[in-house]
Structure 1
């Protein structure tokens, strides 16, 4: 199975200059947790997640309208694949990179869609997707392996937040 068979194609995007208030609004209005950041040619540069927005606001102690998508993606390693890649290649990337979403591109590197854990689960076993029962097309084992890895708890900072703030002054 190729990625283009399960990816979401109605993907809302933002520009690097978009403020996080607007990006959060896109998420709310479109019931999604991630917005790809693209340039004027629709080439993906990064992705902003709902968690990224919350952490940026907390760590920078600024309102969302004072922060941009560019600030979120500046040191980001973009995880993407082409739509003719296999699902297994995408699962391997998700597992290796510890990500819940992978941007999908066309042959010319423009945005084609996005694959999320939800998209993968919708085609696993006898899942129900958008009210329609899906045929068992994806084996459970590779999906569970990826989910265990991506969902594992990560090391927390050694210093409590209050101590980190004092050290940054």
Structure 2
């Protein structure tokens, strides 16, 4: 099975200059925990997670309403090609201990997202999801 069969297509995205208040609002409005950050060509350059905002800014006394995405994002973005097998995606998630992966097309542009929830929804992938969830949750 390929990632395009389970991914969320056309995910919400932001640019590196997008204010974090707006990024957080996107997370709330779209019920997601990660927003991919793309360049002017739509290529992922990083991601901002809800955890990034809390750990990198709030915990250090910075006001997230006063900074842009590039000041908080995890970069570079770890991505997976659209034609990749779901098992390869799961292996990337386990190896890198990440819960979400931006999917890129042949030109390297963002075209989707795969999350642990996407693995869970597909009955045949539940055992893979359980292993990914276990490994991602292990302390670094």
Would you say same fold, with TM above 0.5? yes
CA RMSD of aligned residues (A): 1.5
Aligned ranges 1:121-160 → 2 under 5 Å: 121-123=120-122, 125=123, 137-138=124-125, 140=127, 142-152=128-138, 154=139
In the TM superposition, what is the alpha-carbon distance from 1:57 to its structure 2 partner?
A: 2.5
In 1, Cα distance between equivalents of 2:82 and 2:13: 18
- Confirm whether residue 91 of structure 1 aligns to residue 90 of structure 2: yes
Q: Please name the residue that 1:80 is paired with.
A: 79
8 Å CA contact 2:101–2:114 kept in 1: the answer is yes
Unaligned runs of 5+ in 2: none
Match for residue 54 of structure 1?
54
Q: Deviations over 1:108-142 (max 9, x none)?
A: 0000100000011011x3xxxxxxxxxxx3251x3
Distance in 1 separating the partners of 2:45 and 2:62: 23
For 1:89 and 1:40, how far apart are their aligned partners in 2?
Answer: 28
State the TM-score, normalizing by the size of structure 2. 0.92
Unpaired segments ≥5 residues, structure 1: 126-136, 156-169
TM-score by length of 1: 0.77
Structure 1 residue 60, shift from structure 2 partner? 3.5
Higher-Rg structure is 1
Change over 3 Å in CA distance of 1:23–1:72 after alignment to 2: same
Distance 2:97 2:125 in 1: 20
Number of the residue aligned with 2:16? 16
User: Helix, strand or coil: the match of 1:93?
Assistant: helix
Q: Secondary structure at the match of 1:85?
A: coil
Runs of 4+ in 1 over 6 A off after TM superposition: none
